């Protein structure tokens, strides 16, 4: 196992044999997570009312435990990283730090309004295998990861097209997270990442949720129900499921969908969308 100190610090990073220093530092989820953690740690001493003020914790070391790579050959890149941290204070107290790094993602609440109706709204869900959840038929919102160069809105539009076969202009997407979470961000970088955290106890994943309302012919509802979609050559086996919007909360166990309907209802109630 090789190791190196982080630039301009004494924090030691221990690597796995299959990961280089350069690969780790170029992995955007790692640099983004580290930046946010270091910013949070700095607030302990700069804010007298911080709960850890006077007993500040510091990041002492990072140990990479495993790496998943995507692609092969020249296109091989870091996909996911599992790591552990040593974060402690002068009293010998430590904060648990087992972290699964995967970066940012997007989810889309696609709402269909049949032509000739008033207030009849349907939500588009996907049904697909999710092995980590132990399910071959997980009902959830269309969602996907973003790459280093992509934008959140662009990724959302792309996921809708890939998973649902529906092309939506990026500028027609409604950002549900930024209006609802305004005030949580203190820096420009954080404002770009105003998002929900599905599993903050174990993963860095942050998610922006978008919505789009689309008028369609009524017969399209029947055509889309159960429609098979997804990128088959990427191993995606996705079917569409349409549910009444007011019933969405009881049609899925998916945290993305439940968060989306909560944000949609809250922002609607305050006339902010």
* pLDDT in the model for residue 164: 73
pTM score of the predicted model = 0.86
Q: What is the pLDDT of residues 33-81, one digit of tens each?
A: 999 999 999 999 998 999 999 999 999 999 999 999 998 888 899 999 9
Choices 3.40.720.10, 1.10.10.10, 3.40.190.10, 3.90.79.10: CATH for 104-269: 3.90.79.10
* pLDDT in the model for residue 231: 47
Tokens representing residue 243 in the block: 């549910």
Strands (E) across the chain are located at 3-5, 12-14, 57-70, 77-89, 94-95, 98-101, 104-114, 122-130, 135-140, 143-145, 174-175, 206-216, 228-229, 238-244
Q: How far is CA 205 from the centre of its chain?
A: 5
What is the number of other CB atoms lying within 10 angstroms of the CB of residue 75?
7
Domain ranges, ordered by start, for the chain: 3-101, 104-269
Q: Which residue has the higher pLDDT, 163 or 101?
A: 101
* pLDDT in the model for residue 190: 55
What is the mean pLDDT of the segment spanning 201-219? 92
Q: What is the pLDDT of residues 133-177, one digit of tens each?
A: 999 999 999 988 886 545 788 888 887 887 777 788 888 899 999
* pLDDT in the model for residue 72: 87
Give the angle 219-220-222 at the CA atoms, nearest 5°.
70
């Amino acid at each position: 196992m090789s190791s190196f100190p982080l630039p301009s610090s004494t924090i030691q990073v221990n690597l796995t044999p299959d990961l280089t220093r350069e690969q780790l530092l170029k992995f955007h989820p790692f640099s983004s997570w580290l930046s946010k953690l270091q910013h949070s740690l700095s607030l302990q001493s700069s804010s007298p009312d911080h709960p850890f003020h006077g007993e500040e914790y510091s990041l002492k070391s990072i140990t990479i435990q495993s790496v998943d790579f995507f692609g092969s050959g020249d296109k091989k890149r870091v996909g996911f990283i599992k790591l552990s941290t040593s974060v402690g204070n002068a009293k010998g107290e430590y904060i648990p730090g087992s972290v699964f790094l995967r970066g940012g993602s997007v989810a889309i609440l696609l709402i269909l309004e049949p032509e000739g109706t008033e207030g009849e709204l349907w939500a588009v869900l996907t049904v697909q295998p999710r092995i980590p959840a132990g399910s071959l038929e997980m009902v959830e919102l269309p969602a996907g990861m973003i790459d280093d160069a992509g934008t959140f809105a662009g990724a959302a539009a792309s996921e809708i097209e890939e998973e649902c076969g529906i092309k939506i202009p990026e500028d027609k997407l409604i950002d549900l997270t930024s209006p609802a979470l305004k005030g949580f961000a203190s820096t420009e970088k954080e404002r770009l990442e105003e998002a929900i955290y599905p599993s903050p106890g174990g993963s860095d994943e942050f998610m922006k949720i978008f919505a789009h309302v689309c008028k369609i012919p009524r017969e399209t509802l029947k055509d889309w129900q159960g429609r098979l979609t997804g990128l088959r050559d990427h191993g995606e086996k996705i079917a569409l499921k349409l549910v009444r919007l007011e019933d969405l909360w009881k049609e899925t166990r998916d945290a993305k969908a439940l968060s989306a309907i909560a944000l949609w209802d809250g922002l609607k109630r305050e006339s902010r969308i």
